Amino acid sequence: MPEKKLLLHICCAPCATGVINKLKSDGGFDITGLYYNPNIHPSAENEARKNSVITLSKDENIRVLHDDLIMLDYWKENLEGDKDRRCRFCYSIRIDHVAKTAKEMGFDAFTTSLLISPWQDHEKIREIAEAVQKKYGVLFLYQDFRPFYREGKNEAWKRGYYLQKYCGCVFSYSESDHKKKPVYNF
């Protein structure tokens, strides 16, 4: 059987490591990554995450597309104080973009590395991806990758990838009490 051309939305290198390992062990996929995360602030943090994704693409020998967009004003003006609405918007813009790109570029299917993280709202991500697969007529490859999260993160740590200390947006930065959180002034 020919391999399925799969466009994988990559939220970060640690999450993508586990997802790519799982998909490679399943077999049957020709994987291309898409790094598109306008939720990440500030740009220094985005650069750190993106650079690890570039290293990951070499380590895994997969092509990764990059799409940079900064939306700080939108976040500050429209989404402060409402986590549920904020995260829904955040997942939607990223998943919609990957599905649209998959359709335009002739991929057979799309998925997202967000589905591996126990820190994300898995069901919300799944629901949004199922809706956009209908909107664009391109298959959403659903898997619950969460059992592979720890293994992928350990592998990412061994490879020296950047391990972020907050989810990505300015609000999650404020909410994170990680001891090693970088110091940023927004």
Give the binding site for ligand SF4 (CB under 6 A): 39, 86-87, 90, 167-169, 171-172
Alpha-carbon span 18 to 31, nearest angstrom: 14
Least distance to ligand SF4, CB of residue 4, Å:
27
Q: Left if phi > 0, otherwise alpha if psi is -120 to 50, otherwise beta: which for 7?
A: beta
Read off the amino acid at residue 152. G
Least distance to ligand SF4, CB of residue 177, Å:
14
Alpha-carbon span 60 to 165, nearest angstrom: 24
Least distance to ligand SF4, CB of residue 171, Å:
6
Closer CB to ligand SF4, 156 or 167, in the complex: 167
Least distance to ligand SF4, CB of residue 39, Å:
4
Closer CB to ligand SF4, 22 or 122, in the complex: 122
What are the helix (H) ranges across the chain? 13-26, 43-60, 72-78, 83-104, 122-136, 149-159, 170-175
Closer CB to ligand SF4, 29 or 173, in the complex: 173
Closer CB to ligand SF4, 35 or 171, in the complex: 171
Alpha-carbon span 178 to 153, nearest angstrom: 17
